Structures are given as structure tokens and as C-alpha cells.
Chain A
Amino acid sequence: MLMIEGLSVSFGPRRALHSISLEVHSGEVVALIGPNGAGKSSLIRAVSGVVPVEGGRVRTNDTDLLAIPPLRRARHLAVVPQAVSMPPAFTVWETALLGRTPYLNFLGQVSAGDEQVARAALAKVDALPLVARRVGELSGGEQQRVLLARALTQSTPILLLDEPTSNLDLHYQVGFMEMVCSLAKSDNLAVLVALHDLNLAARYADRVALLVDGSLAAVGTPPEVLTAGHISEAYRLPVEVVPHPFAGTPLVLPGD
């Protein structure tokens, strides 16, 4: 499980995150929502250790994740970035194998066991038929699945995803989130996913965390957080929230 405790981040004089505390349990999908600039990406980056934090801790069990070197951290926590500007010349297979880095020597020599893990990860995201293709030739949805496979290849109990669906067509968005949710349950992963689309969050997250201006405004189940009151205030826009006609989850509609 992932424990974020009082995390604060500043970029120069601007404070990007104010004392964020949030827990993500194993097997649970927590969606991070909020308007642009609220700090979703900053939180993902701070938790993964690529921006310096001003205060607070990120823990899993007894390990302080921000106090250990990147190589060890990468055995606890993997990140799925947005599939933009990927190096196009690597093959899918080469890209997925790079996920084994935390277990390799500095030469990056892979063993048969490492290849086994990479193959299994590619199979989980239905990307095995793509192994010989170059990443630059793939569609956005395929690239996003390859990045998910690379993160799974890291064999970590914690998975962070930074707006993985925002460049995808609708059917890819749904398929991708279905995949992430079933992996969280089957592999008992703690998943924190920043999402732009409130209805995707409502449909697939076990819990939702609403970020506004760098602070957590609400945390809870989708019906608890995705209320007309919370969303109108956060996005400064009148909204209606109605039950989803099939799933029963909240459905957010812009009002007027």
C-alpha cells in the first residue's frame, strides 16, 4: 500500500502542493481528479521522486520511498506516463524490457527470467503481437498499453498513472481503464491514477481524490466526492450529477 503523508511541493515561490495526505490500499484504484493546474501531475511526479519535496513523506509499509536511491525506489513504485514523445526507434520488446532496469546490473544484461516477466506483462496488456514493431509505428492506444506493460515489467506493488487516457479515443479510454482495474484486483496493486475525465473516474475508481489549487478538497467513494457541490466549486461551473443509467455510478453533466 502507498501512504502519502503531509506532502508539500513548491516550484520557486509558487507552492504547488499543500500538505497532501492520501492512502492507496493494495488492490484499490484511487482516481486523482481536479481542474488543470490543480497539481495532479505534480503529485504523481513528487510521489515518484522526480521533483524535490519541501515536506512530508511517501511510505510503503516501513520504507520511506523518497529517502532511498532511484534504483531501489523503482522496485516499489512504477509510473505510466502519457504516451507523448516516446523514442520512436525502439521496438516494443526493447521498451518493455527497460522496465527490468531496477533488477539489472549497470550494463543492463537481461536474463531469461527477465524476458519471462516482460513477456507476461506484454501478454497482460494484449501487446504480445506487437513485440517486433517499432514504437513510432504504433497508434496512441497501443503506445499507452506498451507503457503500461513497461511499468508492469518493473514488478512493483504500487502503480502511478499520469492521465494515461487523455490522448486516447473513447473506446481505447474505456478499454485501458478496464485493463488497469482488472490488473489492480488480479495482481493486488495499489493504483493511483490522475484522470481528466470525471465520468471515467466515477466509473472505474474505488475512491476519488479531488485536488483544487494544490490541496485535497475531498476524498471518498465516487458518490461521496462527485457531488454537484464539490464539482461546481472546484471547476467553477454549474453541474448536474445524475445516476449512470446502466452502472448506477455518478454521471457529471455540465449545467448552465
Chain B
Amino acid sequence: MNLRPYLYSLSVLLLAAVLSVAIGSVFIPPDDLWRVIAGRTPQAVTQAAFIVSAIRLPRTVLVALTGAALGGSGAAYQGVFRNPLADPYLIGVASGAGLGAVLAMSIEWPYTAPGMLVIPLAAFTGALATILLVYFLARVGKTVPATNLVLAGVAVSAFASAITSFLMLGSTGELHRAIAWLLGGSTQVGWGPVWAVLPFMAVGMTSLLVSGHALNLLQFGDDQAQQMGLPVTRARILVLLAASLTTAAAVAFSGIIGFLGLIIPHLVRLRYGADYRRLLPLSMLGGAAGLLLADVLARVLMAPQELPVGVVTAIAGVPFFLWALRREKSQGLW
């Protein structure tokens, strides 16, 4: 097995993680950072130690997990729909998950332990309902044309967002804080969200990582995949469940972040080819690195004010999306 793509992606991820921990309203020099991580904390760096371990590090981990989830589920949606424009945001799954989460929040605000679990489960339900709806709206016979999927996704997404806004405006108090969250900013601090998101991401991403071979077979169409031995319906349902669980976990704790799940798998595919057994893990590593960098930008572009990271990914992602759309139309292949 060729390890170079993995080593390369891992080193980019490591670099992005160091930047993410070091940069912020208080800059932490790399040598202090090293001392904190190594556990040697003289008096001068206790403030740095606190910032790193209580604020920066948990945020870095949460952002990396979210990016990995979006990169991986984007690659999986593209594979299962055989559609290069699929992205958790563009096909509406993220908004559906957001609606589910806000519905749950309007009942209970997530600072208690069970609350932390209710939100992702509600987001998962919203994501599944959306993916089913979009799939049946976009389907033509047995295929799902690229532009149909995006059109249906945008329509359903707009509808879910409208209901979300309605819920938030109609309520008072705590739910207003959800607005910042929905735009893709990690408003919750500390390790709580990391521990809460971890089980969902572990199950979802592990399921995606073992689906590479099935996704390779599905690229040949349902008939051929089954003739080569794949139980097609079961495989497709498993991948959709895993991708939607992964997306929902990301949305429940980090809000709606678009286009990352489109850009990262595209770049990986251009560089390292179409084999999903490689594409899925590399998209996760790349997604983590990409979102960390976007998050650093969100913190420094208008410092001391902090931009929602979803704004950064959209500004970078929309031109990329339009380029991919043109490419898909002109070549009809991918």
C-alpha cells in the first residue's frame, strides 16, 4: 500500500492543528505551545497553559472532527449518488439536520448530559428525513442526475432553513444563541462538546471507512454492482445512514458549514484517483485540515471579531462549486 498520500495529508493536518492552537486573540508562541503539551509549565506560561488546554485545544479537536466528518460524508454522498456535486450542505442534509437540532433545542437547551444526546439524535432524524425526500424528488428512473440532486437539495434546504428561522424568531431567550451556532461557529467551549460528539462520529466515520469497496462497486451502476456480488440496496442504505449520522453529528455541534464536503473530495480525487478505499480516509484528513485553516482565517480576518467559519467556507466554496458545475456539464464525466 502506498502510504505517501496519508503521510502528506497527516502533515498538513498537523500543521493546521498547530496554527489553530497557536493563533487567536492571544498568540501562543510555538515554544510555549511545546512546553504546555510536553507538560513542563513554568510560571510564565500558566496563562498560556490554561488557554491551550481549556479553550484552544478542545476547539481545535472539535473543528478537526467536524471537518473530517464533512469531508468523509461528502465523499460518501458523491459515491452513493454517483454525483460529483453532492455535498452535505448542497443536498440539504445539513439544513435538515439543523432543523432537527433546533426543534430539539426548542424543547430542551443542551447543557445537561441527556440534552447533549438529544440534539444529535434529533439532527440525525432531520438528516435522514431530508435525504429521503431529496432522493425521491431528484430521482429519474434509477439515476439521480447531478443538477436534479442539487436543485432538489437547494429547495428542501431553503424550506428547512425557513422553518428553522421561523422557530428561532418565534421563540425568545436561549434559542437566539442558536443563530450564531447555525452559521457554523463553535460557540460552546470546553471539552463537553468533544466528548458528546465523539461516539456519533466514531460510529459514523468507521462505517464510512469500511464502505470503500462497496462504493467502488456502486460506481458501475446497480446492476453491475450486484452482478459482481454486492447486495446493492443494503449497501446503499448503510452508506446513507453512516453519512447522515456523521453529518448530523457535525451539524449538531458545529452548525451548518457548506462546501467543505464538495471541495475536499474533489481535490483528493484529482490528486489521488477514484478508489474510495483511499478517497474516504484522505477526504477525512483533508476535511479536518481544511476546516482548521478556515477556522483560523475566521478568527484572524476581522480580529478581534470572529467570523462564523461557514462564511469562510462559503466564500471559498461557491467559486469552486461553479467551476465543478461547469466541468460536469462540459465533460459529463468525473
Contacts and interface: CB of A to CB of B under 8 A. Distances in A.
Chains A and B come from one and the same complex: yes
A222 interface: no
Contact of B230 (A77, A78, A101): A101
Contacts of A102: 228-229
Given A50-B226, A101-B228, A101-B229, 12 more contacts: A45-B223, A48-B227, A50-B223, A70-B231, A73-B229, A74-B228, A86-B220, A90-B274, A98-B220, A98-B228, A108-B277, A154-B228
Contacts of B217: 98, 101
Interface string B208-229: 0010111011011111101111
B213 A101 contact: yes
A200 to B, nearest CB: 23
Given A86-B220, A88-B333, A106-B214, A70 B226 contact: yes
A87 B220 contact: yes
A74 B231 contact: no
Interface in A101-144: 101-102, 104, 106-108, 136
B236 interface: no
A90 B212 CA distance: 13
A101 B217 CA distance: 9
Contact of B333 (A74, A78, A136): A136
Nearest to A150: B228
Interface residues of B, number: 27
A206 interface: no
B273 interface: yes
Interface of B: 82, 210, 212-214, 216-217, 219-224, 226-232, 269, 273-275, 277, 333-334
Kindly state the interface size class of chain A when it binds its partner.
Answer: 20 to 34
A213 interface: no
B275 to A, nearest CB: 6
A116 to B, nearest CB: 18
A106 B213 contact: yes
A69 B231 contact: yes
A53 B52 CA distance: 64
A108 B215 CA distance: 11
Interface string A63-102: 0000001111111011101000111111100100011011
A50 B229 contact: no
A154 B269 CA distance: 27
Nearest to A86: B220
Interface of A: 45, 48-50, 69-75, 77-79, 81, 85-91, 94, 98-99, 101-102, 104, 106-108, 136, 150, 154
* Top 7 closest pairs, chain A to chain B, by CB: A108-B213, A74-B229, A89-B274, A87-B219, A102-B229, A71-B229, A79-B227
B223 to A, nearest CB: 5
A71 B269 CA distance: 28
Given A70-B231, A89-B334, A90-B274, A81 B223 contact: yes
Contact of B219 (A48, A90, A99, A154): A90
B84 to A, nearest CB: 10
Given A89-B334, A98-B216, A101-B217, A71 B231 contact: yes
Contacts of A78: 227
A49 B229 CA distance: 10
Contacts of A136: 333
29 contacts: A48-B226, A49-B227, A50-B222, A50-B223, A50-B226, A70-B229, A70-B230, A70-B232, A71-B229, A73-B229, A74-B227, A78-B227, A81-B223, A81-B224, A87-B219, A87-B220, A87-B274, A89-B269, A90-B216, A90-B274, A90-B275, A101-B213, A101-B217, A101-B229, A101-B230, A102-B229, A107-B277, A108-B212, A154-B228
